[in-house]
Amino acid sequence: MASSRATRSNTSKARAAEARSAKPETMTSKTRAPRKRKGEAGKALARKLVKAKAARDTNPLLGKWRTPFAIAPFDQIEARHFEPAMQQAFRENRAEIRAIVANPAKPSFANTIVALEKSGVLLHRVAAVFWNIEGSCSTDELREISRRVSPLFAAHSSAILLDARLFKRVDELFERRDTLKLDDEQRRLLERTHLEFVRAGAKLKPKEKKRVAEINGRLASLVTQFMQNVLKDEQSWHLELDGERDLAGLPPGLRSSAAREAAARGLEGRHVITLSRSSVEPFLTFSTRRDLREKAFNAWVRRGANDGPTDNRAILAEIVALRGEYARLLGYRTYAEFSLDDTMAKTPEAVGKLLGDVWSHARRRAGEEREVLAEAAREEGSNAPIAAWDWRHYADKVRRKKFDLDDAELRPYLQLDNVISAAFDCAHRLFGLTFVPRDDIPRYHPDVRAWEVLDRKKQHVGLFLGDYFARPSKRSGAWMSSFRSQHKLGKGQRPIIVNVMNFAEGGEGEATLLSFDDARTLFHEFGHGLHGLLSDVTYPSLSGTSVSRDFVELPSQLYEHWLLQPEVLQKFAVHHQTGKPISARLIKRLKAARNFNQGFATVEFTASALADMKLYGAAPGAVADIETFEGDVLAEIGMPDAIVMRHRLPHFMHIVSGYAAGYYSYMWSEVMDADAFGAFEEAGDIFDRKTADRLKRHIYSAGNRRDPQDAYVAFRGRPPSVEGLMKNRGFTS
C-alpha cells in the first residue's frame, strides 16, 4: 500500500503543501497585520522573529539538519518537540499563503501556482517525521498528540482551500490556461491544482464552506480515533499457549517467534500468538487445535467491534455519514460518486462491473475449493462443516497433497536478507539502480536499515529505508511512505523513501524466514518505493506516488511478477542452512500452485471491495448500524459462509483513510499489471532494456505529469484488457 502517506494528506492544498520542499519565501511587510501603528507593528514583528529563532535553536525539528543527506536527526527528536514545531510551521505556511493572496500583481503561473508549490516546506518536514513515527513507533504520548493535531491539520487545510481570494487567482489562471503558453507539465499542475480547490469546496457559498470545514475537522478526529482503536485491539489481545498440546502442528519457526513474544511479555517458558498478521495467520494455517484456531480467528475478525472504548462501529457510521454529506454539498449523490470522479474508473458503475465479473468467477471457484477442503477434513475424521477458522488449515494440507508443496518447505529458502537483495537486484537490472548500505544514516528505530540509492552513473538518486519487523508500537499491515519527495524546484531535492512491514523476526543468531506471501509483500511495497525513488518531475504536487488511487498500485503489483521468475528465485532463494539454491523442481511446483486457493483469496478481497463501494454508495441514513449493514451486504452478494471479508468494516483502515470507496483499486491496477508484464514476456527477456526504459519513462518516473490512461498507453501501446486479470487469477485459460 502506498501510504496513506507520510503526511496523511487529505484532498487539500494545505495538506499537499506538506509535501512541498523548496525554500520558503522570506516574510515581507505584506504579511504583517497593518492595524497597529507602524512602530508597534515593527516591534511586534521583531519579537516574533527573535522568538522563532530561539525556537529553531532549541527544537531539532526547526533547526537546520546537519545530517547525511539532511535526513531528520531522529536521535535528537522527542515527543515534546512536535507540537511547538507544528505551530511554527502552521504560522509560516499561513504567512506564505497571505503573501500569495496579497500580491498586487496580476495572477501568473509563477506568482500563484509555483508559489503554492514552494509553500509549506517546514510543515511538510515536521509532519512527515511525525506521521511516519506515529505509525511505526507509536506511544501513548504520540497517540495523544495525534488526536490533538489531526483537527488542526484539517482546519489549516480548509482555511487554505476555502480561501475565496486565493481560489480567485487559481480560477482566473485556469480560465486563461490556453493563453498562458504552459508546457505539458505546467498545464497538468494548473489543472490538478484547480481541481483540488474545486473538490475541496472552493466554489461553495460561505455557509456551505463553513460546514465543509466543520466536516473536515470532525473527520480528522474520527479517522485518527478509528486507526488508534484498531492498534489498541491488536495490542491488547494475545493467546497464551501452554505446553505441547497447545503447540500441536506449529512448525519450529512459529514456535520460536511465539516463544520470543511470550518472553517479551514476561511469560518465560510459554508461547504467545498475537493479532499481528505474521503471527495469527501462520497459527490458523498450522495449528491442529481447532478450538484454539476458532478463538484466535474470532479475536482477529472482531478488532474494532468489541464493546468498550475501542469500538469503531459508531465511529465508522459517523465517518460514512459525514463523507456523504460532504459529497452532497459538492453536488454528488453519494461519496462513492464523488470519490471515483477523479480516478481512472470514473463511476461506481464501472467499478461494479469489474467487481461483479470477478465475483461470479471467484464465488464459483471458492465453492469448488470448499468441497475439496471438506473431503480433506473427512479423511482426518472430521465431519464438521468447514468454518472460516478451518479454511487456511485445510487449504495448506490440500496444497501439500496436490502440489507436494507447503509453506514450511519454502520458508528456509526465503531469507529476509536474500529477498531484499533480490528486490534490489531486479531494480539494478531493470533501472540501473545500486543500493549501498549506509550505517551512518540516522534512523528512528534500531530495526530500521538504510541504503543510499545510486543510478547507472553512480549519481545520488535518494535514500531508501527498510523497517521490516513487527512490534507492538507499529500499526498492522505494510506500506510505503516518504520523509521527503522528489522535485526540481529551486535547487530541487532527492527523495527519502521508507518501506514498513510486519514480519516476525528470527531469533538471536537465526535467519528471518518469510512465507512466499511475505516475500511478495516485500516486492509489492518495494515497487511503491521505486515509484517514489525514480520520480523525475519538476513540481512537488506531481511527484512520485501522487497519482490516481487506482493507478498507484500498478508499479507495486507489477513488481511482484519478478519474484516468481526462475532466474530470480534460483539466484536468491538459497536454503538458510545448506546454502543450496531452490531446485527447479520446487520452483515448478510453486508456479503450478500459484492459482491454488484463488477462489478464496479473490472472494475475501472482492467482498471487502464490494462492501466498501456499497458503504459509500448508500443513501443518507442507510448506514446506522455497521454490523447490520455489513451482514445485509454479504447476504445480498451471496457471501460463502466459510469465508470472511479480508477486512471487516470495523477495522477496515484502508477505507477510513486514503482508500475510501477505493479498495477496488488493487484489482483495477491488477488489470494493468497483468497486461504490463506481458510486454517483457513478449520481448523475450524479463529484464529487456528497451521495455524497462519505457516503463521507467512513462510509469515509474513520470509521477502525475499526464493522465494515467495516457501514461499506460504510452508504455504499452494500447489500453489494458481485463482478460489478463482473469488469466492471472486462473479463472480463464
Question: For position 215, which CATH number holds?
Answer: 1.10.1370.40
Closest CA to 531 of 652, 305, 703: 703
Counted domains in the chain: 3
Instruction: Please work out, in degrees rounded to the nearest 5, the angle formed at the alpha carbon of residue 156 by the alpha carbons of 150 and 159.
Output: 140
Instruction: State whether 181 and 70 are in the same domain.
Output: yes
Residue 681 lies in a domain: no
| Residue among 271, 282, 322, 276 at smallest CA distance from 303 | 276
How confident is the prediction for the chain on average, in pLDDT?
92
Backbone angles phi, psi at 435, to 5 degrees: -115, 115
Question: Do 39 and 178 belong to one domain?
Answer: yes
Query: SS3 string of 497-547?
Result: EEEEEEECCCCCCCCCECCHHHHHHHHHHHHHHHHHHCCCCCCHHHCCCCC
- Give the whole-angstrom CA distance, residue 248 versus residue 626: 37
As a whole number, mean pLDDT of residues 257-284 equals 94
Q: What is residue 10's predicted lDDT score, i.e. its pLDDT? A: 35
Average pLDDT over residues 41-63: 70
Cβ atoms of 442 and 496 within 8 Å: the answer is: no
CA distance 120 to 464: 24
Residue 619 CA from chain centroid, whole number: 28
> Is 649 part of a structural domain of the chain?
no
Is the distance from CB of 496 to CB of 462 less than 8 angstroms? yes
Domain finish residue from 592, 613, 647: 592
How far apart, in whole angstroms, are the C-alpha atoms of residue 681 and residue 687? 9
714 and 698 Cβ atoms separated by less than 8 Å? yes
Shared domain check, 186 and 289: no
Query: In whole angstroms, what is the distance from residue 149 CA to residue 82 CA?
Result: 10
CA 347 to chain centroid, in Å, comes to: 23
Say what the pLDDT of residue 732 is: 76
Residue 15 has pLDDT above 60, yes or no: no
Q: Tell me, yes or no, whether 695 lies in a domain.
A: no
Helix (H) or strand (E) holding 370: helix 348-379
Give dist(CA 680, CA 360) in Å, integer: 30
Q: Please report, as a single letter, which amino acid is at residue 131.
A: W
Residues 6+ apart with CB under 8 A from 38: none
Catalytic residue among 134, 337, 369, 525: 525
**pLDDT above 70 as % of the chain:** 92
Question: CA–CA separation, 437 vs 430, rounded Å?
Answer: 20
Same domain, 198 and 243: no
Q: Are residues 175 and 294 in the same domain?
A: no
The total number of residues shown for the chain amounts to 733
Among candidate residues 234, 235, 256, the one with its CA nearest the CA of residue 513: 256
- Domain for residue 334, yes or no? no
76 and 162 housed in the same domain: yes
Cβ-based neighbour number of residue 287 at 10 Å: 24
Q: Does residue 375 sit within a domain?
A: no
pLDDT over 90 at 565, yes or no: yes
Contacts of residue 581, Cβ cutoff 8 Å, sequence gap at least 6: 570, 571, 573, 574, 575
More confident residue, 686 or 57: 686
State yes or no: is 525 an active-site residue: yes
pLDDT of 728 reads 79
Judgement on whether residues 22 and 141 belong to the same structural domain of the protein: yes
Matching residue, cell 499491515: 477
Q: What is the pLDDT of residue 407?
A: 80
One domain, residues 450 and 522: yes
Mean pLDDT within 485-508: 95
Is pLDDT of 6 > 90? no
* 417 DSSP 8-state letter: H
- pLDDT for res 723: 80
Lowest mean pLDDT: which of 221-225, 335-339, 407-411?
Answer: 407-411
pLDDT digits (tens, 9 = 90+) for 294-320: 999 999 999 999 999 999 999 999 999
The torsion angles phi and psi of 581, rounded to 5 degrees, stand at -70, 155
* Residue 730 pLDDT class (50, 70, 90 cuts): confident
Question: What pTM did the predictor assign?
Answer: 0.91
Residues 90 and 196 reside in one and the same domain: yes
For the chain, the first-to-last Cα distance in angstroms comes to 29
Q: Which one-letter amino acid corresponds to residue 387?
A: A
Please indicate, yes or no, whether residues 154 and 266 belong to a single structural domain of this protein. Answer: no
Report the distance separating Cα 344 and Cα 548, nearest Å.
7
CA distance 133 to 146: 11
Examine residue 371 and state whether it is found in any structural domain, yes or no.
no
CB 423 within 8 A of CB 573: no
Residue 444: pLDDT over 90: yes
> How far is residue 340's CA from residue 338's CA, in Å, rounded to a whole number?
6
The range of the structural domain enclosing residue 511 comes to 411-592
| pLDDT of residue 168 exceeding 70 | yes
Regarding whether 263 and 146 lie in a shared domain, the answer is no
CB 439 within 8 A of CB 429: no
Which helix or strand (DSSP H or E) is residue 595 part of?
none
Distances (CA, A) of 391 to 194, 405, 635, 680: 49, 17, 20, 36
**pLDDT recorded at residue 1:** 79
248 phi and psi, to 5 degrees?
-55, 130
Measured at the CA of 480, the angle between CA 336 and CA 545, to 5 degrees, comes to 60
Query: With bands split at pLDDT 50, 70 and 90, how would you rate the model's confidence at 342?
Result: very high
Q: Are strands 460-469 and 496-503 parallel, antiparallel or unpaired?
A: parallel
Q: What pLDDT is recorded for position 3?
A: 63
Alpha carbons 498 and 306: distance in angstroms, whole number: 33
DSSP, collapsed to helix, strand or coil, labels residue 161 as helix
Query: Which residues face 633 on adjacent strands?
Result: none
**pLDDT on residue 41:** 57
Instruction: Examine the pLDDT at 44 and tell me if it is beyond 90.
Output: no
Q: How many CA atoms lie within 13 A of 75 on its CB side?
A: 7
Together in a domain, 492 and 571: yes
For residue 434, give the DSSP letter.
E
State how far the Cα of 636 lies from the Cα of 614, in Å rounded to an integer: 11
Interatomic CA distance for residues 686 and 513, integer angstroms = 26
Give the other-Cβ count within 10 Å of 591's Cβ: 14
Instruction: Label residue 49 by pLDDT band (50, 70, 90).
Output: low
Answer yes or no: is 625 within a domain.
no
405 within some domain:
no
Boundary-marking domain end, from 541, 572, 592: 592
- Count CB neighbours of 54 within 10 A: 11
Q: Per the structure block, which three cell numbers stand in for 195?
A: 481541481
Q: Which of 576, 592, 608 is the last residue of a domain?
A: 592
Instruction: Determine the Cα–Cα distance for residues 401 and 413; give it in Å rounded to an integer.
Output: 20
